[in-house]
Amino acid sequence: MLKYILPLLLFIIMAVFLAIGLNLNPHDIPSPLLNKPAPVFFAPKLQTPQEKLSPDDLKGQVWLFNVWASWCVSCREEHPVLNQLAQQKTVTIIGLNYKDDPAAANNWLDTLGNPYNISIMDQDGRIGIDWGVYGVPETFVIDKQGRVRYKHTGPVTVADVQQTFLPLIAQLQGE
Amino acid sequence: MKPSLLILVLILSSAAAQAIDSRQFANPEQQAVYETLTSELRCLVCQNQTIADSNAELAADLRRQVYEMLQQGKSRDDIVQFMTDRYGDFVLYKPPFKAKTGLLWLGPVVFLLLGLIAVLLVVRRKKQAAAQENGQAEKLAKIRRLLDEGEVS
C-alpha cells in the first residue's frame, strides 16, 4: 500500500510547491525600507527647478511618493487613477520624475493632467537607488513621522486605491 | 559556414557578452573587487542577470554606484550593505545564510541525503532478495540430492 501512497504524496507536495511558485509575482520584491525612515533627498522641483524639496518638508502629513517617467508605458496606464485620487484631495501626492527629460516630463503633465502636488527630478537615478526603485512605476506611502509604511510595485489600479491605499491612508492620518 | 563552426563561434562569443563601461581603477585589486561585486549583484529589472552582464539602465546605474563607492575607499562589505539596505537580500546572487534562507542553502544537502537513503534501501532490498533466492536454490539442490540418494538405496 505504501508503495502507491508514497509517490502520490511526493507528487502532491511537489504540485503544491509548484502551484505556489507559479502564483508568486517575481517582480514583487519585499522592500527593506518598510517601517524605516524615508530615504533623504534634497532635489529640485520639476516645475520650479530653482526650488528644492526634502522629505522633512512633508513631516506631519501622510504622503504618497510615486515614481514616474514620461518614457514609462505603465505610468500612462496608471495616470488616470492618480488623477482621480488627486481630485479627492485626501492625500499629498509627490512625484519622483525618474531618469527623465524635464521638457518631456512637463509636456506629459500638461497633456495628461498633473496629479502631483509637487514632482521632483531625479535625472541620474540616484534618489531612485536610495529608495530601492527597480521598475517604474512604484508607489510608496509615508506616514506623518516620515516612515515608509507601504510599497506598491507596478501601476496602481482603481481596485488598489479602493482596497489598499485609501484604507491605509485613513489609518495613517488617524495615527 | 559549417553549422558546427557557427555553434562554436556563438558559444565562444557568449562568454564575451558583457556590458562594457570604460572605468579607471587605482590598482588591480580595486578592479578585481569591482568585477567580483558586479558579478554577484543581481539586476533587479532583468532578475536573471548580474549587473555586470546586464545592459538595463538600472544595472548601469548600480555599476556606477559600485565604482564610485570603491573610489571613495568603501570596502566590499560596505557596498554589499548599501545594496541590501535598499534592495533587500534579493539583490545578492549569494544570499546570506539565515533562518529565511535556510531551506535554500540546506535543501540540496537534504535532497542528496534523501537520495542516498533511497539508494541504500533499494540496494539492501535487492541483496536480501538475492540471498533468499540463493537459499532456495540451495534447498532445492539438497532436496534433489536426497531424493537421488533415496532412489539408489
pLDDT recorded at residue B12: 66
CA-to-CA distance for A20 and A108, rounded, in angstroms?
39
Return the minimum-mean-pLDDT range out of A49-63, A108-122, B123-137: B123-137
Residue of B nearest to A132 (CA): B86
Q: What is the arithmetic mean of pLDDT over A7-14?
A: 93
Q: What is the arithmetic mean of pLDDT over A148-163?
A: 94
Residue of A109, A121, A55, A57 lying closest to A82 (CA atoms): A109
C-alpha cell at B34: 569591482
B49 close to A (CB below 8 A): no
* CB nearest to A132's CB, from B47, B57, B86: B86
A130 close to B (CB below 8 A): yes
- pLDDT for B79 beyond 60: yes
Sheet holding A118-122, edge to edge: A118-122, A92-98, A63-68, A138-142, A148-153
- Provide, rounded to the nearest whole percent, the portion of chain B with pLDDT above 90: 40
What confidence category does residue A85 fall into, taking pLDDT thresholds of 50, 70 and 90? Answer: very high
What confidence category does residue A18 fall into, taking pLDDT thresholds of 50, 70 and 90? Answer: very high
CATH number for the domain formed by residue range(s) B19-96: 1.10.8.640
C-alpha cell at B41: 549583484
pLDDT recorded at residue A127: 96
Q: Complex ipTM above 0.85?
A: no
What confidence category does residue B48 fall into, taking pLDDT thresholds of 50, 70 and 90? Answer: confident
Angle CA(A56)–CA(A59)–CA(A62) in degrees, nearest 5? Answer: 130
Residues of B in contact with A136 (CB under 8 A): none
- pLDDT for B152 beyond 60: no
pLDDT recorded at residue B108: 92
Residues 6+ apart with CB under 8 A from A120: A41, A43, A44, A45, A46, A52, A53, A94, A95, A96, A97, A127
pLDDT recorded at residue B16: 53
For residue B57, the one-letter residue type is E
Count how many pairs of residues, chain A against chain B, have C-beta atoms within 8 Å: 38
B144 close to A (CB below 8 A): no
Q: What is the arithmetic mean of pLDDT over A125-134?
A: 94
DSSP state of B14: H
Return the minimum-mean-pLDDT range out of A48-57, B50-59, B98-107: B98-107
Kindly list the domain boundaries of chain B, sorted by start residue. 19-96, 97-153
pLDDT recorded at residue B29: 87
Assign 3-class secondary structure to chain A.
Answer: CHHHHHHHHHHHHHHHHHHHHHHCCCCCCCCCCCCCECCCCCEEECCCCCCEECHHHHCCCCEEEEEECCCCHHHHHHHHHHHHHHHHCCCEEEEEEECCCHHHHHHHHHHHCCCCCEEEEECCCHHHHHCCCCCCCEEEEECCCCEEEEEEECCCCHHHHHHHHHHHHHHHHHC
Residue of A109, A115, A128, A122 lying closest to A44 (CA atoms): A122
A146 close to B (CB below 8 A): no
A137 preceded by a cis bond (ω within 30 of 0): yes
- pLDDT for A46 beyond 90: yes
What confidence category does residue A12 fall into, taking pLDDT thresholds of 50, 70 and 90? Answer: very high
Q: What is the arithmetic mean of pLDDT over B113-120?
A: 95
A77 close to B (CB below 8 A): no
Return the minimum-mean-pLDDT range out of A47-61, A112-126, B55-69, B124-138: B124-138
Check A131 against B62: CB less than 8 A apart: no
* CB nearest to B58's CB, from A31, A131, A134: A134
* CB nearest to A32's CB, from B61, B65, B84: B84
Q: What is the mean pLDDT of chain B?
A: 86
A134 close to B (CB below 8 A): yes
Distance from CA of A88 to the nearest CA of B (A): 32
Cell 532412489 -> residue = B151
Q: What is the mean pLDDT of chain A?
A: 93
What confidence category does residue A67 fall into, taking pLDDT thresholds of 50, 70 and 90? Answer: very high
Q: Domains of chain A by range and CATH?
A: 33-174 (3.40.30.10)
pLDDT recorded at residue B14: 61
- pLDDT for B99 beyond 70: yes
Residues of B in contact with A31 (CB under 8 A): 88
Return the minimum-mean-pLDDT range out of A70-74, A154-158, B53-57: B53-57
B46 close to A (CB below 8 A): no
- pLDDT for A69 beyond 70: yes
Around Cβ A75, how many Cβ atoms within 10 Å? 21
Residue of A nearest to B81 (CA): A32
B38-43 long-range CB contacts below 8 Å, 24 or more apart? B38/B62, B38/B63, B38/B66, B39/B93, B40/B92, B40/B93, B40/B94, B41/B66, B41/B83, B41/B91, B41/B92, B41/B93, B42/B90, B42/B91, B42/B92, B42/B93
pLDDT recorded at residue B153: 52
Cα four-point dihedral sign A88, A155, A128, B92: positive
C-alpha cell at A7: 509517490
More confidently predicted of B148 and A71 = A71
Residues of A in contact with B85 (CB under 8 A): 32
The answer to whether A64 and A165 are in contact (CB under 8 A) is yes
Residues 78-97 of B with CB under 8 A from A: 84-88, 90
